[in-house]
Amino acid sequence: MINSAYKAPLLFRNGHVHTIYPTLFRKVAGVSYRRERIITPDDDFLDLDWSVIGSDRIAIISHGLEGHTDRAYVKGMVRAMNEEGIDALAWNFRGCSGEANRQFRLYHNGATDDLHSVIEHAAKSYATIYLVGFSMGGNISLLYLGKQEFSISPAIKGCVTFSVPCDLSDAAVALERRENSIYMKRFLRLLHEKVRMKMQLYPECIDDCNYDQLKTFKDFDDRYTAPIHGFDSAEDYWRKCSCRPWLRQIDVPTLIVNSIDDPFLQGGCYPQEECNSNSNLTVEITRYGGHVGFIGAKDSRRYWSEKRALQFIDGCSVGG
What confidence score (pLDDT) does residue 1 get? 84
Residue 6, CB half-sphere, CA atoms under 13 Å: how many?
Answer: 28
From 193, 175, 192, select the one nearest 184 (Cα to Cα): 175
Residues with Cβ within 8 Å of 25's Cβ and at least 6 positions away in sequence, in order, are none
Residues with Cβ within 8 Å of 178's Cβ and at least 6 positions away in sequence, in order, are none
Helix, strand or coil for residue 126?
Answer: coil
Helix, strand or coil for residue 45?
Answer: strand
What are the residues facing 254 on neighbouring strands?
A: 159, 281
Active site annotation includes 291: yes
Rg (CA), the chain: 18
What confidence score (pLDDT) does residue 299 get? 72
Give CA–CA dist 296/293, Å, rounded.
9
Give me the helices (H) in 64-135, please: 72-83, 112-123
Q: Taking the model in full, what pTM does it have?
A: 0.97
Starting at the edge strand found earlier in the chain, the sheet holding 156-162 runs: 34-39, 45-51, 87-91, 57-62, 128-134, 156-162, 254-259, 281-286
Annotated catalytic residue within 62, 97, 135, 169: 135
What confidence score (pLDDT) does residue 295 get? 97
For the chain, strand residue ranges (E) read 34-39, 45-51, 57-62, 87-91, 128-134, 156-162, 254-259, 281-286
Give CA–CA dist 167/312, Å, rounded.
24
Active site annotation includes 262: yes
Give CA–CA dist 118/112, Å, rounded.
10
What confidence score (pLDDT) does residue 34 get? 98
> Measured at the alpha carbon of residue 172, what is the angle toward residues 215 and 228, in degrees to the nearest 5?
75
What confidence score (pLDDT) does residue 318 get? 58
Give CA–CA dist 228/9, Å, rounded.
43
CA 20 to chain centre: 17
Annotated catalytic residue within 51, 97, 291, 305: 291
Integer CA distances (angstroms), 278 to 251, 253, 254, 274, 313, in order: 8, 10, 10, 7, 18
Q: pLDDT of the chain along its 320 residues, tens only?
A: 899 999 999 999 999 999 999 999 999 999 999 999 999 999 999 999 999 999 999 999 999 999 999 999 999 999 999 999 999 999 999 999 999 999 999 999 999 999 999 999 999 999 999 999 999 999 999 999 999 999 999 999 999 999 999 999 999 999 999 999 999 999 999 999 999 999 999 999 999 999 999 999 999 999 999 999 999 999 999 999 999 999 999 999 999 999 999 999 999 999 999 989 999 999 999 999 999 999 998 778 999 999 999 999 999 865 54
In this structure, are residues 75 and 26 in contact, taking their beta carbons and an 8 Å threshold? no
- The structural architecture, per CATH, of the domain 10-168+242-319 is 3-Layer(aba) Sandwich (3.40)
Residues with Cβ within 8 Å of 209's Cβ and at least 6 positions away in sequence, in order, are none
Active site annotation includes 135: yes
